[in-house]
Amino acid sequence: MAVMRTTNTTVDRRALQRRVVRVLALGQVLGGLGVGATLALGALLATEVSGSSAWSGMAATMNTLGAALLAVPLARLAQARGRRISLSTGALTAVAGAAVTIGAAVLGSFPVLLAGLALLGAGSALNLQSRFAATDLAADDTRARDLSLVVWSTTVGAVLGPNLFEPGELIGRALGLPPLTGGFVIALAAQSVGALVYLTALRPDPLLLAAADGEAAGRDRPSPGGGLAVLRSSAPARRAVLTVALSHATMVALMSMTPVHLSGHGASLSVVGLTISLHVAGMYALSPVFGRFADRAGRRPVILAGQAMFVAALVLAWLGAGSPVLVTAALVLLGLGWSASTVAGSALVAEAVAAPDRPKLQGVSDLLMNLAGAAGGALAGPVLARIGFDGLSAALLVLVAAVVLSHRGGGQRDARPDPPALGGGAR
């Protein structure tokens, strides 16, 4: 039996890791439900409260910026107090964000609405941190798989959330609130339950237990400085973070402009909705397959396979910009490429440095991932207006090339999973 010893207890490592993954997956479902229920509603609410559709994009922007700004503080809290406190704090911050958003709608205050949407970004930030929490106690031969299972569980919330518009409207009316706020009531409830799940079920805390095990063995001392210092000192860390950030930017840039492009070419809303739904399915549905492949074949082959799917998606979008069928196929490939690159890249982030430095690096990775996504979405609009959807697709090949070149000669550490700082398998 694989066990790990701390100063006071002997823990069945594999059984505990299975329970941790289940708890994180449940938290992801609840968190994803809240995010999915409010993401599209945020744009509609921003339009209603501001009185202009020109401000509708601020909902996604504030959510992304909020997730970016909260990534590092939540990671620091995880390092100091463990995953249990960090994840539950993130969920409670999202609860506060939902409450502020509802209050802003009642008051008709657009600045307060923006603040609430930014706080709701904590939900996205904790969803990202959850995938790393799945690696704290993972064995070296299942780390990517465990991470991918938590990523996969996001599918449930992402699919169910947007379908809660009508129930949310009924809830809003029953409570005497503006109709569009019902989805935020659902988010508030889902994140509240998520916080309770993290607080009660993540015992013992996986990150604190991993740190205690390393200290008991007389190894693993944190390096000085924050996450950026860790990033500067480690070439594998830089490659891993670059992979995740640029892959996310590529995905967001093309995906965010697809509804605009399809609508401009006469596609119905049902076609646009189906395209985005299939894209989201590509992002999450096969993540366990990519995780298992990354554990068996290595991280770099899966990352390069993901970039190859990006190339296929961008070329298809470039050549088939006038065909809704080809654009839909391109978006599915785009989602699959993002899944492979993000799962394998995140596994690299989790093992690029020693255990005490991982939360710091993970926080910086999530920060840069969100900023890259925000930049990709913001720059894609002007590029689309100037050179079209096919030109945007061609331009994004530059980001793919940057990721591929960064992994040339990356070394064995990027190719195969190393033994974790905890000591890997059986003790």
- Residues 344 and 66: their CA atoms lie apart, in Å, by 25
* pLDDT of 415: 45
Among the three residues 215, 250, 276, which one is the final residue of a domain in this structure? 215
Report the chain's mean pLDDT, rounded to a whole number: 83
Question: 211-250, pLDDT tens digit by residue?
Answer: 877 655 445 566 767 788 888 888 889 999 999 999 999 9
CATH number at 79 reads 1.20.1250.20
Report the pLDDT value the prediction gives residue 163, as an integer from 0 to 100: 64
CA distance 310 to 314: 6
Residue 422 lies in a domain: no
Output the pTM of the full model: 0.80
> What pLDDT does 260 receive?
75
Find all residues with CB under 8 Å of 224, minimum gap 6, and list them.
none
The residue written with tokens 């860390």 in the block is: 237
Percent above pLDDT 90 for the chain: 39
1 in a domain, yes or no? no
Quick one: how far is CA 381 from the chain centroid?
Answer: 22
Q: Please indicate, yes or no, whether residues 180 and 299 belong to a single structural domain of this protein.
A: no
Alpha-carbon distance of 186 to 171, in angstroms, equals 8
Is residue 426 assigned to a domain?
A: no
Question: Is 222 a domain residue?
Answer: no
CB 298 within 8 A of CB 418: no
Same domain, 248 and 387: yes
* Model confidence pLDDT, tens digit, residues 252-310: 888 878 877 787 777 776 777 778 778 888 888 899 999 999 999 999 999 999 999 99
Say if residue 75's pLDDT is above 80. Answer: yes
- Last residue of one domain, picked from the residues 158, 185, 215: 215
Q: Establish if 427 belongs to a structural domain.
A: no
Residues 301, 340: one domain? Answer: yes
Of the pLDDT bands very low, low, confident and very high (cuts 50, 70, 90), residue 55 is: confident
Whether residues 202 and 248 share a domain: the answer is no
Task: Examine the domain organization and report whether 42 and 190 are in the same domain.
Answer: yes
Say yes or no: 77 and 142 in one domain.
Answer: yes
Encode pLDDT of 97-143 as tens digits. Answer: 999 999 999 999 999 999 998 998 888 888 889 989 999 999 888 99
pLDDT confidence band for 422 (50 / 70 / 90): very low
Whether 38 and 120 map to the same domain: the answer is yes
Distance CA 45, CA 96 (A): 17
Residue 262 domain boundaries:
227-415
Is 262 among the domain residues? yes
Give the separation between CA 11 and CA 299, rounded to whole angstroms.
29
Q: What is the pLDDT of residue 50?
A: 85
- Both 189 and 248 in one domain: the answer is no
Same domain for 117 and 160:
yes
Q: Are residues 345 and 270 in the same domain?
A: yes
Does a structural domain hold residue 74?
Answer: yes
How many domains does the chain contain in total? 2
Q: Give the CA angle between residues 116, 122, 127 to the nearest 5°.
A: 145
Residue 273 and residue 181 share a domain: no
Is 200 in the same domain as 234? no
Do 426 and 353 meet the contact criterion of CB atoms below 8 Å apart?
no
pLDDT band at 161 (very low <50, low <70, confident <90, very high): low
395 within domain boundaries: yes
The per-residue pLDDT for range 304-345, each reduced to its tens digit, is 999 999 999 999 989 988 888 999 999 999 999 999 999 999
Tell which of 175, 195, 215 closes a domain.
215
